[in-house]
Structure 1
Amino acid sequence: MPEADDEFAALWDAHYDDVLGYAARRVDHETARDLAAETFLIAWRRRADIPMDRPFPWLLHVTMNVLANAARGHRRRNRLWWRMREDRGLNEPVADVATRVVEDGRIGTALRRLSPRDREVLQLIGWEELDVNDAAVVMGCSAKTFSVRLHRARRRLSDVLAELDAEGQSRPIPTLQRSSQS
């Protein structure tokens, strides 16, 4: 079926980088590449279901499901790994400095305090730059429902940021200082 192959190749060319970016903003780059590939494998298998007038939200919805499946698998493996470590009496690993610097960011801290659904709603609008209609497709709900979720998520984010400010936890990300000897 050369026609379907050409159409799918055009879909890949048009949206692979965006799907990869969506995944890479949620997991490490290597895992993101695997997830993007799995998304397009599913798209190939279900190519008759792809709404060709607006395929990107459909692809992101698939990617969101692939991410959820990967996260469940990761949690299962992680629980097993910790059980094995506990059985052997091993200590917890120490997080590297770069990870701590990123995690100490004010917005990152606030986002981590939100529910996964609130985070996803905000990230679809802020990181993926989707409009409400396309983000609703990704989340599998109506545009009106998504708008309500977005409004509530923004309000909760604002509340958490205010809490962080009140707690004095809004620290700037440290920068390297040049030595006066240079």
Structure 2
Amino acid sequence: MRERDEPWFRAMYTEHYPAVARYAVRRLGSPSAAEELAQEVFLTAWRRRADIPGRELPWLYGVARRLLANEWRRTRPAFVELTDSAAPAGGVDELLDVRAALATLSEDDQELLRLVGWEQLSVSEAAAVLGCGRTVCAVRLHRARRRLTAAMERAVPATSTRRGALL
């Protein structure tokens, strides 16, 4: 494994900062708040650089997730707005349908669907972020997708839902 020195950290930061910032914006809705969170994630990464596994991004998402959870426990904000970059191909109406359906799911289901759908993590990577095994994560993902599909079918006519278009 490469030495975890300043050049290593700079390379990791350059490679992963955009993904961590997008992760934060999608959950916070505010670019400035997302930037603060991303900075906090990388400050934690610098302090704990010896603990970071070979695949850094899932570990960084895990740090971001825990920092967000701590903040949400403290402040209990309203539902997070999605950014334009997260909008599905169908436009604003479909985005609103997805947001409404997603909001009916548990926080755990929402997070798993976001990790796989928005952040495009593999099941193994999402499992690492969530701290569970790959098989458990795959089962949870399958069930969460079923619940999202059912929620969307309840919210909109079946003809307007393109199954599998989002997740």
Q: Same fold (TM over 0.5)?
A: yes
Larger Rg: 1
Q: Is the 8 A contact 2:4 2:49 kept in 1?
A: no
**Percent same amino acid among aligned pairs?**
46
Structure 1 residue aligned with 2:136: 145
Distance 1:3 1:39 in 2: 16
SS at match of 2:27: coil
Structure 2: gaps of 5 or more residues: 78-91, 161-167
- Classify 1:54/1:148 alpha carbon distance in 2 versus 1 (closer, same or farther; 3 Å): same
What is the Cα-based RMSD across aligned positions, in Å? 2.1
SS at match of 1:154: helix
Deviation at residue 12 of structure 1 after TM alignment: 0.5
Partner of 1:132: 123
Name the structure 1 match of 2:81.
none
Q: Secondary structure at 2:119's aligned position in 1?
A: coil
TM-score (norm: length of structure 1):
0.72
Q: 1:43 aligns with which of 42, 45, 53?
A: 45
* Aligned partners of 2:123 and 2:137 also within 8 Å: yes
When normalised by structure 2's length, the TM-score is 0.79
Structure 1 position 160 matched with structure 2 position 154: no
User: Runs (4+) of structure 1 moved beyond 4 Å?
Assistant: none
Measured in 1, the distance between the counterparts of 2:32 and 2:140 equals: 31
User: 2:107 maps to which residue?
Assistant: 116
Report the Cα distance in structure 1 between the residues aligned to 2:43 and 2:129, rounded to whole angstroms: 18
Tell me whether 13-22 or 104-113 shows the greater mean CA deviation: 104-113
How many residue pairs are counted as aligned between the two chains? Answer: 141
Q: How does 1:13-32 map to 2 (within 5 A)?
A: 13-27=14-28, 28-32=30-34
